[in-house]
Amino acid sequence: MSLHQQLHKFEAAFERFAAPVKPYLPLIARFLLVVTFLEDSVRMTCSFWASFLNLGFSSAAADLFLIGNVLIMLACSILAIAKKHTEIAVGGLAVVVVTQGLGYGLIFDPAFLFRTISIVGGLVMLLADAHLSKSSKNSRSIFAGLPQIVDADSRSTYLQLCGRVLLVFLFLSFVFAAELTPLRIVVAAIALIGSILVVIGFKAKWTAGFLIVFLCFSNVLLNNWWTLHHNHPQRDFQRYDFFQNLSIMGGFLLLVNLGPGGLSMDGKKKDF
């Protein structure tokens, strides 16, 4: 039996093993994708009340900025999880990402920027998921016009391409890290190979699944904020990074569920 046949047999066995979980993957992915916004809204609310009780209102503009961000994050996260008005939900969360980066002055910090771009990639994958759902509904309707179906499919294809390209930016931070130790070189090599495979869409589902596992272990090892003392200066930073990585994992999980789309090596193979 050739390597290709063995790989195909393994993939088929894994698909059968994962079949009971597969219907719940989209919901899990959408929840993970917005979990950083949910956690951020809770943290900002607690910080606001603590500041209010101790110091009172310091700045009306700052208070409005904080309250507006919390309301948008909560409302749009709920819409995203429920798969309702996805375009509005994605637009609102994207605005929050940009305004927070500018408001906190972190938009030019490389680590923050790469992670933020990856989260935007997850939001783009969420849009692709919504367009694919609309396309499948139209295709089941006897009144659906063919041009509408083609347009919806083409939009989702380009969104999937854009989403998977943006998703891998987090791993580029491993590649371009300033300090190069032997372990970091190995990690950077794995991240680079995985990122390339996702971008070109070769075995994209399996690569995305591997990167989820890779990110899960690195997230627990590097961002274990729960082990730090409550007053430790790095606790909030590690907690923020931890939940942002969870959201990026949600984006990759959407990629596992949706596939890379037509503009990929995997998609081209299906055409032959």
Q: Per residue in 257-272, pLDDT tens? A: 888 888 888 877 665 5
Q: Looking at residue 171, what is its pLDDT?
A: 84
Confidence of residue 147 (pLDDT cuts 50, 70, 90): very low
Question: Who has greater pLDDT, 208 or 184?
Answer: 208
Q: Per residue in 35-56, pLDDT tens? A: 999 999 988 887 765 555 454 5
CA 244 to chain CA centroid, nearest Å: 8
Q: How many CB atoms lie within 10 A of CB 27?
A: 12
Angle formed at CA 27 by CA 25 and CA 28, multiple of 5 degrees: 65
Mean per-residue pLDDT, 182-205:
85
Q: Looking at residue 148, what is its pLDDT?
A: 45
Q: Dihedral of the CA atoms 97, 101, 102, 108 (nearest 10)?
A: -130
Confidence of residue 108 (pLDDT cuts 50, 70, 90): confident
Question: Who has greater pLDDT, 63 or 7?
Answer: 63
Mean per-residue pLDDT, 173-201:
79
What is this structure's pTM? 0.85
Compute the mean pLDDT over every residue in the chain, rounded to the nearest whole number: 81
pLDDT at 146 over 50: no
Domain boundaries, given as residue ranges, for the chain? 25-135+144-270
